Amino acid sequence: MPFPTPHTPWPMPEWEKVRHMVNEAAMWWEGDTSTLASRYHGQYRPSQFSGGITGSVSRWFWGAPETQQNRRVHLPLPADIVATSATLLFDRAPVFTHPDQEVKGALDNILNPDAFPAELMVAGETCAALGAVGWRIMWDSDVSEHPWIEWVDADAVFPSFSYGRLASVMFVETLPPIDEKHVWRLFSEHTAGRITYRLMEGNEQSVGMVRPLPEHPNTVDLADWVDESSSQTTNIPVMAAGYIPNARPVVGFRRDGKLRHIGRPDLTPDLFPLFDSLDETWTEVRAEMRLSRKKIIVPDWMLKNRGLGMGASFDHDQEVFSPVKGHPDSNMTPEPYSPPLRIDAMLSAAEAWATQIIRRANYSPASFGMDSDGGAMTAREVDARYDASLKTWSAKSSYWRAGLKDAATALLMKDRDLHGKHPDVEPVRVEMARPVQETRNDVAQTVQSLDAARAVSTEQKVAMLWPEWDDERRDVETARILQEQAGTVDPALFAQADEPIDM
């Protein structure tokens, strides 16, 4: 992708559709009520007449008059959806392997600490919320002796594709301001073996003009590493950056040659009216609880006078009021009153909205603690209950395996380059465990069936039953089993001493 020309509007017009998609998904992910109210103020959402005629509109719940805002409640189901996506993918950290033991040792050192799985969990949640995540290899000997992977949110990544294949990735970061008038942005474009930089000074609405790297404090050191074209070589034959989509396609982009390969968030526009309706229902639950608090009906002479000319007003939070006029000499006494609750019906409605949203997002309600009996289940029963979530995991894990393979391979190559070794190595292999595993009883039954059919070796049976063991421990266990099955016999039990033969 070419760098933006001077004075290009910001955000870049050709990426406006992506920016709008990402920003609206991010808004529901964050769940800030003031932002939701501001975004939908005065707008209308699609609706239906009771007879089923489509095409009518109704006001967004979050777009209602501002006088009601302080009573609204947002149920953070959008955040739960993207967090569940990350948990399904990375609750068990991916396993990175390599056929070369020396290379595998280096790989374990830079990719398997506790920090990397935690970073993956964050990247997975961001990817599900915004539609994609970018990665790039970073290195700085003052920070770490090894390179590392930095994850970049989708709204700061601009991938470029050639016939469906990633050709380059551009990142943009807003640098700390030098003054109040200007906005400094650093663009970096990654291609195979090279990174090119552009520092631009503009404002909130424009990228402005290209400036030399030494003109901003954050890019002064970078100027020492680039050539006359403001580029640097990475000394590895592959791209030191990448782009991992959450899902594809974005239906509205399929005819756009530049955007048709952009990733799709889990929080799609068709879910936004459902989120809005769920929040409306949940707010009604809160209102029902508030309005159903015990109240006392008393004569009006017992109430506080608001003052001359102030009139009377109704306050939902007022616990003591009287619609009945009385006199101090009358026998009327205060009476408690507790309205009936309709919470159960409202909770059922909220659960119905939530279930519809979860299924529309291609997940199983059981993944969110819903539709669960609580009893022990076999692996097949678990698979059936979590079918939608497992299918979503399967699709997403394909994108992530490919992306992590490229990222880990580039990271390994750069690590070897920094330590004076030849960077060209075989690609790294990535394995991701299914989120629903077979129970030990299920595995034992499978092994028993295969053994009865004489279709599995003892070595493979041990590997199936004990996948967490290393090769050495499996070999020892296999040898023990084979020894027991062979029925080792002491020769002394049957041998007899030789006797001389009479001639």
Task: Give residue-wise pLDDT tens across range 141-178.
Answer: 999 999 999 999 999 999 999 999 999 999 999 999 99
Q: What DSSP state is assigned to residue 146?
A: S
Cβ contacts of 21 within 8 Å, gap of 6 or more: 131, 250, 265, 269
The arithmetic mean of pLDDT across residues 383-405, rounded, is 93
Domains of the chain, by residue range, sit at 293-303+317-339
Q: Residue 300: exposed, middle, or buried by beta-carbon count in 10 A (0-12, 13-18, 19+)?
A: middle
* Mean per-residue pLDDT, 229-248: 97
pLDDT digits (tens, 9 = 90+) for 267-305: 999 999 999 999 999 988 888 877 777 666 666 655 566
Residue 495 in this model has a pLDDT that exceeds 60: no
Does position 432 have pLDDT exceeding 50, yes or no?
Answer: yes
DSSP secondary structure code for residue 189 in this structure:
E
Check residues 441 and 117 and name the one with the higher pLDDT. Answer: 117
Mean pLDDT of the residues in the chain = 85
Task: Tell me the pTM.
Answer: 0.80
Among 171-185, 364-378, 412-426, the range scoring the smallest mean pLDDT is 364-378
pLDDT at residue 66, rounded to an integer: 55
Q: What is the pLDDT of residue 385?
A: 84
Among candidate residues 403, 430, 428, the one with its CA nearest the CA of residue 135: 403
| Burial class for 31, CB neighbours closer than 10 Å (0-12, 13-18, 19+) | middle
Mean pLDDT value of segment 193-208? 97
Residue 199 is predicted with a pLDDT of 98
Q: What is the mean pLDDT of residues 309-329?
A: 53
**Which residues sit opposite 58 in a β-bridge?**
45
Give dist(CA 168, CA 160) in Å, integer: 5
Task: List phi, psi (to 5°) of 133.
Answer: -145, 140
114 versus 15: which is more confidently predicted?
A: 15
